[in-house]
Structure 1
C-alpha cells in the first residue's frame, strides 16, 4: 500500500513537471525515450548478440579452404563489412537524436519567452508573478534538452569507440593464414 502511494506521488510530480515545461518538454521526453531505447538495444547487441554474429563470421572464414587469392580477400572484406555494419546499426540515428535534444530545448526557450512577452503585452507591465510561468516554460525545456543530450553524448562516444575496436578485432580474427 505504501509503495502504491509513492508511485502515485511520483507520477503526479512528473505530471506537474511536464506541465510546467509545456508541450515542448513532452516532445523532448519522447525524443530522449526513443534515444535511450535505441541505446539500450545497442548495449544488448554489444554484450549479448554480437558474440554469436562474430562467431558466425569467423566460422565462415575458417570454413574456406583457400585464403590467399584476390577472391578470398574480397570475401574477407565483405565479412568484416557485415560485422562492422551490424556494430554501427542505429548509431547515426542515436547521434541525430543527441543533436536534436538541445535544439528542442532552444525551441522550448523561445516558446516560453513568447509567453512571457504575451503576458507583458496583455498586462502592460512586468508583473513578476504572471511572468514566472513563462520563464519556467523557457528554462525547464532547455535544461531537459541539455541533460538528454549530455547523457547521449557519453554513451554514443562509448558505442562508437567499442564498434571500432570490435571491428578491428574481427579483422584480426579473419587474418590470412599461410
Structure 2
C-alpha cells in the first residue's frame, strides 16, 4: 500500500511539474490503450467464433459457384471486415493526437514563461525554469504515449489484415 501511495505521489509531482495538459495526455493514452486491449480481445476471443460460423454457413451451402453465392460470400467477408476494423481508425487518431496534445502543453508552458518574464523580468531564473519544464514535459509525455501506441497499433492492423485474409482463404469460390 505504501508503494502505491509513493507511486501516486510521484505521478502527482510529475503532473504538477508538467502542467494540467498532462491530464489530457493521460486521458487520450488511457482511451487508446482501452481500445487496443478491446481489439486484441476481439481478435483472440470473439472473431474466431464469427469466423467459424461464417465458414460453417458457407460449407453448408449447396450453391457456391453462382453469381448470387459470390455476392453472399462477399457480403459475409465485408461484414467480418467491418467488425475487424471497428475502432482501428479511432486508435490511430489517438496515436496521432498524443503528440499534438503534448505540443499544446508546450504552448501553454511557454505562455507561462512569457507571463513570468512580463511580471518578474528575466532576473528570476528559477521561475522561468519551472515554466520551461512545464513546456517540455508535456511534449515528451505526448511523444512517449504516441510511440507506445504506434508499435501496438501497427501490430494490431497487421493482425486484422491476416485475420481477414485467413477468412477469405477459408471460403473457397469455385
TM-score by length of 2: 0.97
- Shift, 1:122, TM fit: 0.5
- Shift, 1:14, TM fit: 0.9
* Alignment-derived partner of residue 172 in structure 1: 169
Q: Distance in 1 between matches of 2:169 and 2:2?
A: 56
- Shift, 1:41, TM fit: 0.3
* Alignment-derived partner of residue 143 in structure 1: 140
Q: Distance in 2 between matches of 1:126 and 1:163?
A: 57
* Alignment-derived partner of residue 100 in structure 1: 97
> What is the DSSP-based 3-state SS (H/G/I as helix, E as strand, rest coil) of the residue aligned with 1:61?
helix
The answer to whether structure 1 residue 36 and structure 2 residue 33 are counterparts is: yes
Residue-by-residue CA offset, 1:25-50 (whole Å, 9 max, x unaligned): 10010000000000000111111111
> What is the DSSP-based 3-state SS (H/G/I as helix, E as strand, rest coil) of the residue aligned with 2:62?
coil
Structure 2 counterpart of 1:154, from 143, 151, 159: 151
The answer to whether structure 1 residue 114 and structure 2 residue 142 are counterparts is: no
Structure 1 residue ranges (4+ consecutive) displaced by more than 2 angstroms after TM superposition? none
Residue-by-residue CA offset, 1:69-91 (whole Å, 9 max, x unaligned): 00000000011111111111100
Structure 2 counterpart of 1:53, from 44, 50, 55: 50
Structure 2 counterpart of 1:81, from 78, 81, 88: 78
Q: Distance in 2 between matches of 1:101 and 1:7?
A: 26
> What is the DSSP-based 3-state SS (H/G/I as helix, E as strand, rest coil) of the residue aligned with 1:176?
coil
Structure 1 unaligned residues grouped into runs of 5+? none
Alpha-carbon distance change, 126 to 106 in structure 1, aligned in 2, over 3 angstroms:
farther
Residue-by-residue CA offset, 1:81-139 (whole Å, 9 max, x unaligned): 11111111100000011110000011000100110111111112242101111111111
Structure 2 counterpart of 1:13, from 6, 10, 32: 10
Q: Distance in 2 between matches of 1:139 and 1:99?
A: 18
Structure 2 counterpart of 1:72, from 66, 69, 83: 69
Instruction: Tell me the number of residue pairs that the alignment of Structure 1 and Structure 2 aligns.
Output: 174
